[in-house]
Amino acid sequence: MTKGHKAIFLDIDGTLSWHGAAPCDADIAAMRRARDAGHAVLINTGRSQGILPEAMLGVDWLDGYLCGCGTQLLMHGQEIFGGTLDRPLLREVARHFLQEQGRCCLFEAEQGAYLIQCGTDFNPWLTALPVTKEDDFETRYPHARITKLTLYGSFTPAEEALYHGRLEPVIQSSGLWYEAILPGRGKGVGLRRVCQALEIPVENSIAIGDSDNDLDMFAHAGVAVAMAESSPTALRAARYKTGRCGEGGVAQAIRALVFGEGALERADEK
């Protein structure tokens, strides 16, 4: 990193908090201190705008929200850039997953979310409307603006053919779920676009995350930091490792990398 202002990008789940809860006091204090010193602090999340945690909206310790794996940037109440899935694609996706017994599909939107075969209790913090017919986004929900998909289960050849040229999968190494986003997006591309908008060199960006959908963010950031309980692939991709989610891990990283207070463990050290 060079001297000057930094741009700090933070994943939510497993990094800042669990299940949409507010971050711990130490993390909030560190983010507020960084902003007061002139640095930018932004969320960089797989979550769409419609399922951002209420505890993180309208707060004085964030400058903006990069949502949907780099699809949409919101700053100071304004959309800086965005993108949505078109109706013909939504119809095809709905048709496919309605025929896949036991497969859950989550359509994430700018306002709320929509579910196929997930059950109302599959995620207690999420309120979503059901999709029961392939044309629901043309009839029941014509105004829904879908920005990405989350699919439960492994990525299949049929889905590869369905998405070809229209969606890019973001695979989790666990195989339990994956995301599908608009081509040419991703957390890393979004990070670069934000840095350009803020006129902050990309080498002065700090990315903090914990899972496989943070790998793209790590690859583009000036410095990548993995949480203590990150996935093995995220730990291998990061330069540094910090403390646990909810226990001041984000604060530890900000103090070390922004203010030179303390040092972080290298991610490849035992």
* Tens digit of each residue's pLDDT, the chain (270 residues): 667 899 999 999 999 999 889 999 999 999 999 999 999 999 999 999 999 999 999 999 999 999 999 999 999 889 999 999 999 999 999 999 999 877 889 999 999 999 997 654 555 567 789 999 999 999 999 999 999 999 999 999 999 999 999 999 999 888 889 999 999 999 999 999 999 999 999 999 999 999 999 999 999 999 999 999 999 999 999 999 999 999 999 999 999 999 999 999 999 865
Is residue 62 in some structural domain? Answer: yes
Same domain, 141 and 208: no
Same domain, 170 and 236: no
Same domain, 94 and 71: no
Q: What is the pLDDT of residue 36?
A: 97
Give the domain CATH number at 103: 3.30.1240.10
Q: Encoding tokens for residue 207?
A: 């990315």
Q: Which amino acid is at 120?
A: T
Same domain, 151 and 165: yes
What's the CA gap between 72 and 66, in Å, rounded? 6
Nearest-10 Cα torsion for 47, 48, 54, 57:
110
| Number of domains the chain contains | 2
Same domain, 157 and 227: no
Q: Encoding tokens for residue 39?
A: 């640095």
* Residue at which a domain ends, from 156, 181, 206: 181
CA distances from 6 to 37, 79, 204 (A): 10, 22, 5
Q: Is 68 left (phi over 0), alpha (psi -120 to 50) or beta?
A: left
User: For the whole model, what pTM was predicted?
Assistant: 0.93
Q: What is the pLDDT of residue 229?
A: 93
Same domain, 75 and 40: yes
Q: Encoding tokens for residue 74?
A: 């919101």
Q: What is the pLDDT of residue 270?
A: 53
Is residue 2 in some structural domain? Answer: no
Domain containing 21: what range? 7-82+185-266
Same domain, 27 and 60: yes
Q: What is the pLDDT of residue 119?
A: 58
